[in-house]
Amino acid sequence: MAEITLVEAITQALAYEMQADPNVIVLGEDVGKDGGVFRATLGLLDKFGPDRVRDTPLAESMIGGLAVGMAVQGLKPVAEFQFMGFIYPAVDQIINHAARMRNRTRGRLSCPVVFRTPYGAGIHAPEHHSESTEAIFAHTPGLRVVIPSSPRRAYGLLLAAIRDPDPVIFLEPSRLYRWAKQEVPDDGKALPLDTCFTLRVGTDVTLVTWGAMVKETLEAASKLAEEGVNAEVIDVATIKPLDMDTILASVEKTGRCVIVHEAPRTCGMGAEIAAEVSEKALLSLQAPVKRVTGYDTVVPYARLEKSYIPSVERIREVVHLIMEFA
């Protein structure tokens, strides 16, 4: 079995589900002929035709509205926004309509739509192409927010998102699109939503992360192991709703918690996790909960973005700080 990248796993999952379910429709800017800005939909137009792979005008509000309309009429649209910084014109449709549809109709209608978008820094692009504003959607009742961090998880989680009867925001870390390859069986097996994945078992500190920061966090854990610190690494994967049971069980074992995310610090998901850990695992903590995050600024251009993204060294420094806490 050939190894594939994360973006190829996205394509594979879309093709599988479109073959299995004729109600699955892909739409967005340049998703057809060009295969999407990162080529995540490459080849789908040839396989499934223009009725199921729809190029749209450059109008994100329209994309959001079309997707909601399709979903409430029995289709399963997968709508792509080219970058997270372009999703905001569709926020009215996503928050005021997709997220509220089940409640508004008292369960008579659901809205099985997936809103996909590349997100995050690290590709040397202007700020509208580098945003990590997942907390906006995680704060919104009625939405799931899912963030894969490997080819296998991208494949399984996207299948689960398409099959979910309610709206899912599916954020794809653009920095990881072609970072690594894995064997990904094209077997149609979905991974569970709303569940953390423990990527590394440890006893000294719990490192909680998601998306592109899984890369740096695992690298930091490897370096910490060489320095005598045994870190457990948890990939949250679904940041809304949060699987706090897995996180709390880990913290109760290790006694220490560091949360790593690329998004700005203030009101980020790290603050929510830190609050939950402090409220529910206080007596297990041997040190304060710490966060390693992006900054409360627009992502800087080009080479400066490396200073914005939490580094392996920043993670290591914080871990050593709490290991010395008495």
* 93-125 residue pLDDT tens: 999 999 999 999 999 999 999 999 999 999 888
* Model pLDDT, residue 321: 97
Half-sphere exposure (Cβ direction) of 56: Cα atoms closer than 13 Å: 21
- Name the least confident of 199-208, 286-295, 302-311: 302-311
DSSP assignment of 230-287 equals -EEEEE--EEES--HHHHHHHHHHHS-EEEEEEEESTT-HHHHHHHHHHHHSGGG-SS
**Mean pLDDT for the stretch of residues 6-34:** 98
* Domains of the chain and CATH, by start: 3-183 (3.40.50.970), 197-323 (3.40.50.920)
* Model pLDDT, residue 234: 98
**pLDDT-based confidence at residue 302 (cuts at 50, 70, 90):** confident
**Mean pLDDT for the stretch of residues 48-52:** 98
Q: List, in order, residues 6 or more apart from 17 with CB less than 8 Å away.
A: 24, 158, 159, 162, 163, 188
Sheet with 205-209, strands from edge to edge, namely 197-200, 231-235, 205-209, 257-264, 290-294
Distance between CA atoms of 146 and 93, rounded to whole angstroms? Answer: 19
Instruction: Tell me which of 97, 124, 128, 129 is the catalytic residue.
Output: 129
Share of the chain above pLDDT 90, in %: 94
Look at 306 and 143; give whichever has higher pLDDT.
Answer: 143
Sheet with 76-80, strands from edge to edge, namely 53-55, 24-28, 76-80, 114-119, 168-173, 144-146, 238-240
**Mean pLDDT for the stretch of residues 141-164:** 98
298-324 in b/e form (b: 16+ CB < 10 A) is ebeeeeebeebbbebeebbebbeebbe
Average pLDDT, the chain: 96
**Mean pLDDT for the stretch of residues 151-169:** 98
Q: Tens of pLDDT along 213-265? A: 999 999 999 999 999 999 999 999 999 999 999 999 999 999 999 999 999 99
**Mean pLDDT for the stretch of residues 36-62:** 97
* Model pLDDT, residue 326: 65
**Mean pLDDT for the stretch of residues 121-144:** 92
* Model pLDDT, residue 1: 79
Pairing of strands 24-28, 53-55: parallel
**Whole-Å CA distances, 20 to 13, 23, 24, 40, 48:** 11, 9, 9, 19, 12
Catalytic, 124? Answer no
* Model pLDDT, residue 127: 78
Please name every residue paired with 291 in a beta bridge, in sequence order, or none if there are none: 259
Task: Check whether 303 has a pLDDT greater than 80.
Answer: no
**pLDDT-based confidence at residue 181 (cuts at 50, 70, 90):** very high
* Other Cβ atoms within 10 Å of 73 Cβ, number: 10
* Model pLDDT, residue 273: 98
159-176 in b/e form (b: 16+ CB < 10 A) is bbbbbbebbbbbbbbbbb
